[in-house]
Amino acid sequence: MAKIVGLSRSIKLEWLNKTVELVLEGKDETQIKDELNEYLLFEIKSPTNLRKTREILMNIWVRTPEELSTLKQQALEAYKDEKSNKLALHWSMMLVAYPVFCDVCALIGKLTNIQDTFTTSWLKEKLFEMWGERTTLFHSSDKILQTLKLIGAIENEKVGVYRIKKYPVTDVKTIQVLLLAILHLRERAYYEIAELSSVPQAFPFEYTVSLEWLHDSDLFTLSNFGGKIVLTVD
């Protein structure tokens, strides 16, 4: 069965912020849907595009599967702290909500560990290798790149060539949310502590992981593997 792409509209940071604020106000799903309709109508005139955009925002922050409830709770708590990096919190929720976003970020992150830039044609080629050549994916990849530009993760160096932007993250709550999201992706059985600071999917963010606060947190499970302390996926 083919994976569902789903991410068919570009998303702005302020739209994500608005969605979280509605969740934190305690609004239910119907209220959030209605308020997002009204909010987005100022910028999106097409009813179809408005609906698609609203659904993406709600899939990221409102319609959260039970297995992601801890991640969402921690992300919302971190969001309330003025020291938090709001982009990193949205990013964490987008990684687990949309596999295609996660795969795009992984591809970009792996390449930009080697070189400073990437091209649209390279990204699409690699994405088609992973997902198959589908019209929906061709359209979605453009929207994901546009989203990454709008939220400030990448910038154009020239037409079709992008450079990533880096953001330092020092707030421990935000870093913990990023780590929870990475663990939920279940791409590895465990991570060495040093590896956690350079996970490709979190490519725009520069942060350090402390063994001390990992040990003190009840959110993570530490184990000894081959004489090294590792973070395991539950």
φ, ψ of residue 218 to 5 degrees: the values are -90, 10
Beta-strand runs (E) in 22-142: 117-119
Tally of structural domains, the chain: 1
* pTM of the entire predicted model: 0.94
Residue range 183-215, pLDDT digits in tens: 999 888 888 888 899 999 999 999 999 989 998
Note whether residue 12 is domain-resident. no
- Given a cut of 80, whether residue 19 has pLDDT beyond it is yes
Which structural domain range is residue 203 located in? 67-234
- Tell me if 55 is assigned to some domain: no
The rounded mean pLDDT for the chain is 93
Q: How far apart are CA 185 and CA 201, in angstroms?
A: 10
Spatial contact of 95 and 68, defined as CB atoms under 8 Å apart? no
Residue 19 domain flag: no
Q: Mean of the pLDDT values across residues 47-62?
A: 97
Q: Is the pLDDT of residue 76 over 60?
A: yes
Neighbours of 32 (CB within 10 A): 22
Judge whether residue 60 has pLDDT over 50.
yes
171 assigned to some structural domain = yes
- State the Cα–Cα distance between residues 150 and 172, nearest whole angstrom: 25
For the chain, the helix, strand and coil percentages under 3-state DSSP, each to the nearest 5: 60, 10, 30
Q: How far apart are CA 102 and CA 91, in angstroms?
A: 9
Which among 2, 113, 109 has a CA at the least distance from the CA of 101? 109
Give the span between the Cα atoms of 91 and 205, in whole angstroms: 10
Within-domain flag for 52: no
The answer to whether residue 10 sits within a structural domain is no
151 in a structural domain: yes
Which residues have CB under 8 Å from 214's CB, separation 6+? 193, 220, 222, 231
Q: What is the pLDDT of residue 188?
A: 80
Distance CA 216, CA 141 (A): 40
Task: Please choose, from the candidates 68, 62, 44, 54, the residue with its C-alpha nearest in 3D space to the C-alpha of residue 8.
Answer: 54
82 domain-assigned = yes
